[in-house]
C-alpha cells in the first residue's frame, strides 16, 4: 500500500511538471507582448526592448522556463502585470473561497446523489425512480450558466431569499456566509447530480441482485439492514471513482458559476487574467487548478483502496 501511494504521488508530480511546461509554452504562444502590456500605449520599441531585457524576456525559452519554474518551487508565483501586486496572496484568497464552494458542492452532490441513487434502485421502475431520473437528466442537459440565471431570477429577484452575488466570510456571520453559498452550490449540484445518482443506481441494482444480498435476505435481516449494510457498502465503490471524475467537471463549472454570481474565487480570477492577458496570474491559476484536479483523483484512488478490502488485504489465508 505504501509503495502504491508513493507511486501515485510520483505520477502526480510528473503530471504537474508536464502541465507546468504546457502552461508555460501555451501562454508564451499568446499574441501578446508583456513589455507592451506593462508600459502601456506610449511605449517605444526602445523602452520595450530595455524592459524585456530587464525582465529576461529576451532570453531563450528554456532559460525563461527554468527561472519561472525554480521561482515557482520557492513559492514565488511572480507579480500580476495588471494589478502590480504579487500573485500568491491574491491567488490563495481566491483559492480558499473556491475551495469552500467546491467542498460544499461535493458534499451535497455525494450525499444527495448517492441518496437519490439508492432510492431509485430500491423503487426501481416506479415513480420515485422515474422522478429522480427525470430530475437528474434535466440537471445535466442544461448548462450551469442557464441554471444560474434561472435561480437568480426565482430566488434572488422574485422572492429575495438569497443574495445573488459576491461572497461573505465568517466575519460577516455564519448565516450570511451560508446564504451567499446557496445559489452557486445549488447551480453546480444540479449539473453534477446525474452522474453520481445514475451510477449509484446501476451499481446498487447490480448489488441488490447479487447472491450475498439474497443470502442476507434469506437470513431474515430487515430490509434497511440489507440495503444500507450489505448492499450500499459494495455499491459505493464505483461512486467514489465517478466523484473524482466529476471534480473535473466541477472545476469547469466553477469558472462559469463564479462569473455568474460574481463570486470572487479562482475561476473569476482566471477569467480576469485571461481577459487582461495577465500572464503570471494566468499561469499560476491554471497550475493551481491542475494540481487540485490531480490531487482529487489521487485522493479518490486512495479512498477506493481503503474502502475496498481486496486492495487493502491482498494475502490469502490458508
Partner 1 sequence: MSLLTIRNLSVRYPGAATQAVRDASFTLEAGGSLGIVGESGSGKSSIAGAILNFLGADTRIDGQILFEGTDLVPMPARQRRPILGRRIGSVFQDPFTALNPALRIGAQIAEPMIRHLRMPKPEAAARAVALLHDMGMQRPAEVAQAFPHQLSGGMKQRALIAAALACDPPLLILDEPTTALDVTVEAQILQLLARLREQKRIALLFISHNLGIVRKLCDNVAVMYASQLVELGDARRVLDRPLHPYSKGLLASRPPLEAASRGSRLPSIPGQMPQYPAPEQGCVFLARCAFADPASGCATPQSLATAEDGHAVRCWQANRLGPWPRLREMLSHGPTFTAGDALLNITDLRKSYAGGRSWQLGWKRGPVLRRRAAQVPAVNGISLSVSPGEVLGLVGESGCGKSTTGRLALRLTEPSGGSVEFDGADLALMAPATLQAFRRQAQIVFQNVGSSLNPRLSVGEALERPLALFDLVPAEQRRARVEELLEMVRLPRDYRTRYPHQLSGGERQRVAIARALATEPRFVVCDEPVSALDVSVQAAIVNLLADLRDRFGLAYLFISHDLAVVAQLSDRIAVMYRGTICETGPAAEVLRPPWHPYTRMLLDAVAEEIDPAVEPPAPQAAHGSGGCVFAARCPHHLGAICDREAPPLKPMGGGLSIACHLDLPPVAPVRNSTSPDAVTVR
Footprint on this chain of partner 1 (rule: CB under 8 A)? 3, 210-212, 214-223, 225, 229-230, 233-234, 308-310, 313-318
**Residue whose C-alpha is closest to residue 105's, from 201, 192, 195, 200:** 192
| Under 8 Å between Cβ of 284 and 77 | yes
> Which residue lies nearer to partner 1 by CB, 171 or 314?
314
> Which residue lies nearer to partner 1 by CB, 75 or 125?
125
Beta bridge partners of 79: 86
| Under 8 Å between Cβ of 191 and 226 | no
> Which residue lies nearer to partner 1 by CB, 10 or 173?
10
Torsion-angle region of 43 (φ positive above 0: left; ψ -120 to 50: alpha; else: beta): beta
How many other C-beta atoms can be found within 10 angstroms of the C-beta atom of residue 159? Answer: 9
Residue at grid coordinates 488485504: 313
> Which residue lies nearer to partner 1 by CB, 188 or 226?
226
The nearest distance, CB 197 to partner 1, in angstroms, is 21
The nearest distance, CB 14 to partner 1, in angstroms, is 16
The nearest distance, CB 226 to partner 1, in angstroms, is 10
* Residues 6 or more apart whose Cβ sits within 8 Å of residue 113: 192, 193, 195, 196, 197, 200, 239
The nearest distance, CB 313 to partner 1, in angstroms, is 6
SS3 162: coil
Read off the DSSP letter of residue 229. I
The nearest distance, CB 123 to partner 1, in angstroms, is 13
> Which residue lies nearer to partner 1 by CB, 193 or 207?
207
> Which residue lies nearer to partner 1 by CB, 67 or 229?
229
> Which residue lies nearer to partner 1 by CB, 76 or 206?
206
DSSP string of 264-279, one letter each residue = -SHHHHHHHHHHTT-H
* Residues 6 or more apart whose Cβ sits within 8 Å of residue 98: 254, 258, 265, 266, 267
Cell numbers representing residue 194 in the block: 446525474
The nearest distance, CB 262 to partner 1, in angstroms, is 45
The nearest distance, CB 16 to partner 1, in angstroms, is 22
> Which residue lies nearer to partner 1 by CB, 258 or 301?
301
The nearest distance, CB 225 to partner 1, in angstroms, is 7
CA distance 122 to 106: 24
Which class for 89: exposed (0-12), middle (13-18), buried (19 or more C-beta within 10 A)?
A: exposed
Amino acid at each position: 500500500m505504501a509503495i502504491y501511494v508513493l507511486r501515485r504521488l510520483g505520477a502526480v508530480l510528473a503530471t504537474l511538471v508536464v502541465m507546468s511546461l504546457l502552461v508555460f509554452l501555451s501562454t508564451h504562444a499568446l499574441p501578446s507582448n508583456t513589455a507592451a502590456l506593462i508600459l502601456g500605449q506610449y511605449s517605444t520599441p526602445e523602452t520595450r526592448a530595455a524592459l524585456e531585457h530587464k525582465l529576461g524576456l529576451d532570453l531563450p525559452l528554456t532559460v525563461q522556463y527554468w527561472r519561472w519554474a525554480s521561482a515557482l518551487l520557492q513559492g514565488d508565483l511572480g507579480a500580476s502585470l495588471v494589478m502590480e501586486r504579487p500573485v500568491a496572496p491574491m491567488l490563495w484568497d481566491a483559492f480558499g473561497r473556491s475551495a469552500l464552494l467546491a467542498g460544499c458542492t461535493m458534499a451535497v452532490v455525494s450525499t444527495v446523489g448517492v441518496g437519490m441513487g439508492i432510492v431509485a434502485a430500491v423503487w426501481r421502475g416506479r415513480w420515485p425512480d422515474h422522478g429522480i431520473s427525470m430530475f437528474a437528466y434535466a440537471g445535466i442537459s442544461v448548462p450551469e450558466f442557464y441554471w444560474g440565471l434561472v435561480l437568480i431570477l426565482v430566488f434572488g429577484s422574485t422572492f429575495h431569499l438569497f443574495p445573488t452575488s459576491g461572497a461573505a466570510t465568517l466575519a460577516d456571520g455564519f448565516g450570511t456566509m451560508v446564504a451567499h453559498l446557496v445559489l452557486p452550490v445549488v447551480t453546480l449540484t444540479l449539473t453534477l447530480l446525474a452522474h453520481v445518482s445514475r451510477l449509484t443506481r446501476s451499481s446498487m441494482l447490480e448489488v441488490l441482485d447479487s447472491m450475498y444480498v439474497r443470502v442476507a435476505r434469506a437470513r431474515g435481516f430487515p430490509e434497511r439492514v440489507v440495503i444500507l449494510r450489505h448492499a450500499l457498502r459494495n455499491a459505493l465503490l464505483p461512486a467514489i471513482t465517478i466523484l473524482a471524475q466529476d471534480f473535473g467537471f466541477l472545476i469547469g463549472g466553477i469558472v462559469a458559476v463564479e462569473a455568474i454570481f460574481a463570486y470572487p474565487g479562482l475561476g473569476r480570477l482566471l477569467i480576469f487574467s485571461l481577459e487582461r492577458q495577465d500572464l503570471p496570474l494566468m499561469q499560476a491559476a491554471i497550475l493551481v487548478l491542475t494540481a487540485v484536479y490531480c490531487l482529487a483523483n489521487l485522493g479518490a484512488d486512495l479512498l477506493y483502496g481503503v474502502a475496498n478490502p481486496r486492495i487493502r488485504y491482498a494475502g490469502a489465508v490458508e
